[in-house]
Amino acid sequence: MKTFEKVTPILKRNWPKIILGLLLIIVVDLLQLTIPKIIQGSVDIMQMDNVAHSALFKPAITIFLLAVSIAFIRFLWRLLLIGNAWVIDRDLRQMYYEHLLLLSQNYFNKAKTGDLMAYATNDLNAVRMLMGFGLIILIDIIIFSIGAIFFMTNINLRLTLLAVIPMPLLSIIIIIFGKKIHKHFGNVQKAFASLSGKVQESISGIRVVKAFVQEESELDKMSESAYDYVKSNIALVRIFGIFHPFLFLIITISMGIVLVFGGEAVILNEISMGEFIAFFSYLGMFVWPAIAIGWLVNLYQRGTASLKRMNTIFEVQPEITDADADENITQIKGDVEVKNLTFGYNETVILKNISFRVKAGETLAVVGRTGCGKSTLIDLITRVYNPPEGSIFLDENEIFRIPLQTLHNDIVMVPQDIFLFSDTIAGNISLGNPDVTTEVLEEVSRRAQVHEEIQEFENGFETVIGERGVTLSGGQKQRLAIARALLTNPNVLILDDALSAVDTKTEKNILEHLVKIRKDKTTIIISHRISSVQHADKILVIDDKTIAETGTHEELLTLNGIYRDLYEKQQIKEKLERNSE
């Protein structure tokens, strides 16, 4: 029952349709069970002397009407149950996606994209089949088994007992093979996830593959993953290759018994020819559940194996929650204070005894060598990771008291590694703001120094930029992301090396616009380029995991320390670049 815990609420919401559909199946099955009785009577009539041809009209018409009724009702229950299975698929898919959105970023640092894709495709399909055809087959098995046994017993008890002698073997076979099917299908799903991950990785990194001429190497890796997937499926097919013949062997033995002993009963006039034909028809109906059990076992093992795999995702709880949040805090003005912050990953200290304060409306800059912990500091301020208690305060409220919705509404970060959707330029800039006007889009793109380049495209703002913005340069991507951030006009704007791919002239223009339009709002700039931070009200220099220097640009230059060293080296580099031009 724990396996079906996440599906149960969805089933309850759709319970009326499921119940009605199952009732219609029962009606259809009962109607089908009456047909052999009608045939029995017709055959017995034909055995009589001087029977009028018209005597068969009534049973023939009855069978025709039953067939039409069965066809119509079968259409209805298929519409209800199979259609409902797709509804369950949709709801479960939605639940899965919503859960992924709730999970913290740290989870996605560890999870494989291929696995997550496999859950949303192959596994959900197996669950849908179980919830649709699985329920249908289960009811069919119950009704046909009970109904067929009832009518067979009514015809001849001894013949019925002889017919079901081989049937207990079915239980033994199902128990033995059911566990094997479950295990092998789990292996198939894992292999499919691995294959999906490899395809996704290869396509995402196709430019790197081609740049380093690794097509053959990637093809070999893909062939290996595909072979593992095929090998897992063949192992599963091998199990079914043994399973189904055993089922048909038992069924055939049962039919042989009925043919021998039933034929003898007809010869000895213990049962009529009509009863023998009806008995054989009911045995055929009883055979269907025996065959359907194999299919049901397959669907059940596949479905439960997939549900268990999905439950491992549903059981993951987000690390970042609103457990201690104060819902009355609906806005962040922009006062940021960090007190004695020490933080690390897996017992490795990244930041040590970090303390500073930036008041609302000020610009703070953080500089330092690569890997010094600048981005980690920002991840803690935006609660990508949970900071230690009592270390980060926003507007004098500890960060844990601020609802995540408020935090994400009022703090916007532009990272160095920009992600753009396969959408239009307008769609990427107006992300989350679908009603924004063209005039506003043009304004923010001008402030981000990308408007002129947008106009050069044939379709302007309606230009589709391709997956991950593949048609744009690195600098264009960064400026589109800055335009997207400016559109939201957040109280706290964080630029995490977001100008690294922009030339110094364009960078200067962007920063000048930021100074003008964000006089009353907080801006935090993370950069390794001194030119990006000279205008800041306060500059922090991080070195050896802690704050080594702090002050304005002029103050730091007089210290003759790390900051001045970085500044002079970058000045020399810029001169060399200008001379080379």
Phi, psi (deg, nearest 5) at residue 324? -110, 15
Residue 242 to residue 113: CA distance in whole angstroms: 35
Tell me the DSSP string of 505-523: HHHHHHHHHHHHHTTTSEE
Going from the C-alpha of 205 to that of each of 157, 221, 469, the distances in angstroms are: 70, 14, 14
DSSP letter string, 47-97 = TSTT--GGGGHHHHHHHHHHHHHHHHHHHHHHHHHHHHHHHHHHHHHHHHH
Which residue(s) pair with 349 in the sheet?
344
Please report the pLDDT score of residue 138 as a whole number. 87
By C-alpha distance, which of 573, 371, 352 is closest to 565?
Answer: 573
| pLDDT for the residue 581 | 55
With contact defined as beta carbons under 8 Å apart, do 266 and 276 qualify?
yes
Residue 163: what residue type? Answer: A
Instruction: Identify the pLDDT of residue 285.
Output: 80
Q: Over the Cα atoms of the chain, what is R_g?
A: 36
Q: DSSP letter at 339?
A: E
For residue 249, give both structure tokens.
């062997």
**261 Cβ contact list (under 8 Å, min separation 6):** 158, 159, 162
541 torsion bin: left (phi>0), alpha (psi -120 to 50), beta (else):
beta
CA-angle at 536, arms to 452 and 524, nearest 5°? 75
pTM (2 decimals)? 0.71
DSSP string, 291-321: HHHHHHHHHHHHHHHHHHHHHHHHTPPPSS-
Q: Which residues contact 115 (CB under 8 A, 6 or more apart)?
A: 193, 196, 197
Measured distance CA(487)–CA(457) in Å, rounded: 21
Choose among 541, 560, 548: nearest CA to 366.
541
The predicted pLDDT at position 84 comes to 85
Q: What is the pLDDT tens value at each position of the chain, 581 positions in all? A: 667 777 788 888 888 888 898 899 899 989 988 888 888 888 777 766 566 666 677 888 888 999 999 999 989 988 888 888 888 888 888 888 888 888 887 788 777 777 788 788 778 888 888 888 888 888 888 888 888 888 888 888 888 888 888 777 776 777 777 778 777 877 887 887 778 777 777 776 776 676 666 778 778 888 888 888 888 888 888 887 887 787 778 778 888 888 888 888 888 888 888 888 888 888 878 777 766 777 787 788 878 888 888 888 888 888 888 888 888 988 998 899 999 999 987 778 889 999 999 998 899 999 988 778 888 898 899 898 889 999 999 998 999 999 988 998 899 988 877 888 878 888 888 887 778 888 898 898 988 888 888 888 888 888 888 777 777 888 888 888 888 888 888 899 999 888 877 887 888 888 888 888 888 899 999 888 888 888 889 999 998 889 999 999 999 999 888 889 888 888 887 777 666 65
Half-sphere exposure of 471 (CA within 13 A, CB side): 13
How many Cβ atoms from other residues are within 10 Å of residue 29's Cβ? 19
* 411-414 β-sheet, strand order: 411-414, 492-496, 522-527, 363-368, 538-543, 546-551
Task: Name all contacts of 437-446 with Cβ < 8 Å and 24+ positions apart.
Answer: 440/487, 441/483, 441/487, 444/483, 444/484, 444/486, 444/487, 445/479, 445/480, 445/483
β-bridge partners, 367? 527, 541
Distance CA 4, CA 122 (A): 18
Measured CA to CA, the distance from residue 450 to residue 500 in angstroms comes to: 15
Q: Which residues contact 382 (CB under 8 A, 6 or more apart)?
A: 407, 408, 411, 413, 494
Integer Cα distance of 403 and 417 in angstroms: 26
Q: Crossing angle for the helix pair 57-102 and 135-155, nearest 10 degrees?
A: 150
CA pseudo-torsion sign 39, 45, 51, 55: negative
Name the phi and psi angles at 493, rounded to 5: -110, 130
Q: What are phi and psi of 463, to 5 degrees?
A: -70, 130
Sign, CA dihedral 503-504-509-512, equals positive
Rounded to whole angstroms, the Cα distance separating 291 from 245 reads 10
